[in-house]
A and B are shown apart, each in its own frame.
Chain A
């Protein structure tokens, strides 16, 4: 890759990380949702900054076109984020259901009380 491509990669990774950290700082994003994004940013930053690292990995994995590694990594990280979100969503649904059940039980208790 050219130095220009590396520079673009560095800037993109930095913007992502600063944006995510700002959200955490303003309490608009909880810590647990920031970790995967920050990990993604860090990995891309390292790949962009360390010279020859990307080519070395591509060589080791037998990938002919080094930048393809970046696409592969991006897909892997996005899948991880999606699985994480689905997992949290499932947990959230379970909790909402329990909450609704509790409310129904409480209303039932109220009906039992006279007057």
Chain B
């Protein structure tokens, strides 16, 4: 079956690292289609991506990573893709590792998370203390809510099966961090098989972490409120 895998790259003002990432993808996984979702970028992200031969969707306003993924999932469902891999635009994720994420999908998993902390994974860049503490809390919370041990709950390196895509195309959480942690919890609650694979991640090719300090704290509080309020909830099955 040709062209059943779609690589999705949500990108907000990533004109600099993007060409390198797309080039690597072309060289290392040439059989996969690539979709770049420009999330209301104000630079040349969309043009640069088009020039590199990727399919491009341009959101007219910034919707956040979750919003960009939502439209990508709908695109994948309409296009009949069997599997989707999400990759960061800043070059943190190595294309060769992509195939490792897809192995569990072919074995029947629905959501595979590329983890910096699981066995086989390696972290070659520094993470701030606030972020590290936050991650530990999220890990414990996710385990309490789902009974599953996921070591890297906020990883943006993930693979999705077709049924997972159809589910998320209807109900993906769009708020910051909801797109990773809440999505993971919702998938577990809806009975999807979630697995984790240890992967290496490089430092980001450019740019600073998206949020820090008080804002990050606010996002954590908001996420915890939503997760706790939704504990034990069975998602509506449309």
Contacts and interface: CB of A to CB of B under 8 A. Distances in A.
Contacts of A32: 175, 222
B222 A35 contact: yes
A98 B222 contact: no
Contacts of B222: 31-32, 35
Main secondary structure of the interface of A (DSSP, over half): helix
Contacts of A35: 221-222, 225
12 contacts: A21-B225, A22-B229, A24-B226, A24-B229, A31-B178, A31-B222, A31-B226, A34-B229, A35-B221, A38-B225, A99-B60, A101-B60
A102 B226 contact: no
B61 interface: yes
A99 B233 CA distance: 34
A84 interface: no
Number of contact residues on B: which range applies?
10 to 19
A22 B222 CA distance: 15
Given A30-B175, A31-B223, A95 B233 contact: no
A98 B225 contact: no
Contacts of A102: 60
B233 A25 contact: yes
A32 B226 CA distance: 9
A25 B225 contact: no
A72 to B, nearest CB: 25
Interface string A79-100: 0000000000000000100110
Contacts of B221: 35
A100 B17 CA distance: 31
Contact of A25 (B61, B175, B178, B229): B229
Interface of B: 60-61, 175, 178, 221-223, 225-226, 229-230, 233
Contacts of B233: 25
A81 B61 CA distance: 25
Contacts of B60: 98-99, 101-102
Given A24-B230, A25-B230, A25-B233, A31 B61 contact: no
Contacts of A22: 229
Contacts of B229: 21-22, 24-25, 34
A98 B61 contact: yes
Contacts of B178: 31
B178 to A, nearest CB: 7
B41 to A, nearest CB: 13
Interface string A20-64: 011011000011101100100000000000000000000000000
B175 A95 contact: no
B189 to A, nearest CB: 12
Contacts of B225: 21, 24, 31, 34-35, 38
Nearest to B228: A21
A99 B58 CA distance: 12
B214 to A, nearest CB: 14
